[in-house]
Structure 1
Amino acid sequence: MAEKIRWGIVGPGRIAHSFAKDLSLVEGGKLTAVASRNLQRAQEFADEYGAEHSFGSYEELFDSDVVDVLYIATPHTSHCELSIAAMEKGKNVLCEKPMGLNSHEVGQMVDSAKKNNVFLMEALWSRFNPSILKVKEIVEKGTLGEIAYLNANFGFYALDRNEEHRLLNPNLAGGSLLDIGIYPIFLAYLILGKPDGIKAMSKFHSTGVEAQTAMIFDYPFAQAVLTSGLRSKISMKAEIAGSKGSAYLQERWHETQGYSFVLNGEEQAVDLPTKGIGYSHEIEEVHRCLQEGKLQSDKWSLQNSLDLVGLLDEVRKITGVTFPKE
């Protein structure tokens, strides 16, 4: 591995800008290349963030020797295809969530990573948020007692956007579930594991995409009540409640800057800011894995990604959410 881990960005869209800004805050890494289907767009992004190389096709970047790891930041529908194409060329990959549209795609990606002996991780940045890490630790220590209830939501109004926008376009796997519903499902899975049963209902937009989904995950002792939606702004303070007390992740919980917990009727609040926006923490995890020669993270493993997409698949099966690409 080079003195500094060299990153390439595939797809210089909005989320890639956030990623590049946070990458500049992480020691031991640098952005060296950007690829887009539009060379001018790649060059402009590269100039903005000081990357030495820009490419007018993804394949040119995959064929190059100027990066150690790639960040796939394209729309959901191309994650599987591009990740596999990169891994077939021996590239390590951090792929934006959801890693694939369904279990079949994620399974293909995992198989490719193993076959090509390269690193692969889903960019589920919330898994590495300092406050979420701390609350998970509090739960595992038994501080809150036996967990009986979890509530997590994610929603904003998006129905005023152009129907070709990725959120409202079924051909781009639009809707709330894969884009933001994945976060509440992730938190329930992180804290409580895989549920014994799921109940779910969805509301649909005129374009055919799912626009709001309510879910109940059922466990032997606990229940998780989860919501995602594009039809209104939803409160985004997550709650985890047990027999001895409760913990709360501050608004907006998936990128929270702190948490609080209530024990014996007394509340204690803790500020725990992220470095930058918060992508820095997943970048640091990728660096750690690459430096230690690991092909997957033990904090968010390939099996974790398979489990998560399996839960998304189950919710979609219950609610009738399908995509043309499938």
Structure 2
Amino acid sequence: MNPLRIGILSTASIVPRFVNAAGTVEGCVVTAIASRNLEKAAEKARLWRIPQAFGSYEELIASDLVDIVYIATINSEHARYARLALEQGKHVFCEKPFALKPAEVRDLFMLARAKGLFVMEMQKCVFLPVVQELKRRIQAGEFGRITMADFSSSFDAGYNSWMFDASKGGGPLFSNASYSLQLMQYLFDSFVTEQTGLCTRADSPVENQFAAVMRMDNGLIFTNKTSTAADTVHVGYLYGEKGYIELPDYWKARRAVLHFKGQDPVVLDYPCDFELRYELEHALSCIRAGLTESPAMTEEMSVRTMETLDALHRMWNPAM
């Protein structure tokens, strides 16, 4: 069976992590990379040992060297290039957020079905081995009913100037909030029905930090606090009747600590070199099976996530 050939749009900071992950996965090979600057694309192709470099995204998408287009561009360009790739007969792996409007997400999945092509939002946290184990334990009732959760994270946005540009989908809401949203959707097979929150801004039109509260249709309430202005603890907590889960670096978790009343903590360790490999393995298996949509990272998950993020964004930016 010939390996599926992947072409990468962008030379963003996540790209070498994806390339390294792909190098550990059977059945795929990275054959091309594109930047809007051919010299930059060629430099990164040499560095990451990718055979072909292109000086435009459109050239890569049209190339017969590529079966799958992995989109790692700035947020505002995801939907545009996902559509172009599907129209050119390519499967699509798109970094989160899949698009900036719920209707765009629906349209892209509809197009993929019409073309018989696979499309998926690349949400790594859903496929991590430790998350798989936590879902099994939650469903088995080890923690009783989980009623509340809390997530916090922070990062330095200074290395990406577009992160301060509202027209490009900048700000931590669109860039990071989907981790906790989609993790909770996946763990509990439930969706957010109500959201509220507050944000602050510095010297740019986008938020530099936010605190959001969400209620799910199973009654569970959870918070997400993300900042580019302060250093926070990078951890998620899920609180149940019989104990609670501590999930360090929840968006790329390799371990979880289980706390039960009156017992010593239980540590679950799942070390890995490249956490993106699990989402990639899943997506490739879906293509091999002839699917147009992942049974885990579904269209509904991507749409409902964007509905929540869009509602918060409009709450904080009523004039936009």
TM-score normalized with structure 1 length: 0.91
The residue identity in structure 2 corresponding to 1:30 is: V
Hey, which bits of structure 1, 4+ residues long, moved more than 4 A? none
1:289 aligns with 286
Separation in structure 2 between the aligned mates of residue 321 and residue 272 of structure 1, nearest angstrom: 43
| Letter in structure 1 aligned against 2:246 | Y
Cα deviation, 1:183-205, whole Å, max 9, x if unaligned, reads: 22223333342234222111122
Q: Distance in 2 between matches of 1:307 and 1:126?
A: 17
What SS does the corresponding residue of 2:150 show, helix, strand or coil?
strand
Kept after mapping to 1: 8 A contact 2:71/2:81:
yes
| Deviations 1:2-35 (CA, angstroms, capped at 9, x unpaired) | 5212111111221111111111111221111112
Q: For 2:104 and 2:38, how far apart are their aligned partners in 1?
A: 28
Alignment of 1:47-66 (within 5 A): 47-66=46-65
Once structures 1 and 2 are overlaid, which stretch shifts more, 69-78 or 58-67?
A: 58-67
* Alpha carbons 1:144, 1:242 under 8 Å: kept: yes
Specify the alignment match of 1:303 in structure 2: 300
Q: Give distance in 1, aligned partners of 2:66 and 2:57.
A: 13
1:231 and 1:180 map into 2 onto residues whose CA distance is 14
Aligned match for 2:231, one of 225, 230, 233: 233
Does the CA-based 8 Å contact 1:131-1:249 persist in structure 2?
A: no
Unaligned runs of 5+ in 1: none
Please state how far the C-alpha of 1:60 moved relative to its aligned partner: 1.6
Counting only pairs closer than 5 Å after superposition, residues 64-143 of structure 1 correspond to structure 2 as 64-143=63-142
1:185 matched to 2:184? The reply is no
Contact preservation (8 Å) 1:132, 1:249: no
Contact conserved, 2:79 with 2:98, CA < 8 A, in 1? yes
Instruction: Tell me, in whole angstroms, the C-alpha distance in 1 between the residues paired with 2:276 and 2:240.
Output: 30
Q: Is the 8 A contact 1:31 1:49 kept in 2?
A: no
Match of 1:248, as an amino acid? E
Following superposition, the deviation at residue 48 of structure 1 comes to 2.2
Task: Name the Cα RMSD after superposition.
Answer: 1.8
TM-score normalised to structure 2 length? 0.93
Number of aligned residue pairs: give it: 317
Q: CA deviation at 1:213?
A: 1.3
Structure 2: state its 5+ residue gaps: none
Q: Cα gap change, 1:285/1:177 in structure 2, threshold over 3 Å: closer, same or farther?
A: same
The answer on 1:277 being equivalent to 2:274 is: yes
Give the aligned partner of residue 18 of structure 2.
Answer: 19
Aligned to 2:31, the other structure's residue is in SS state strand
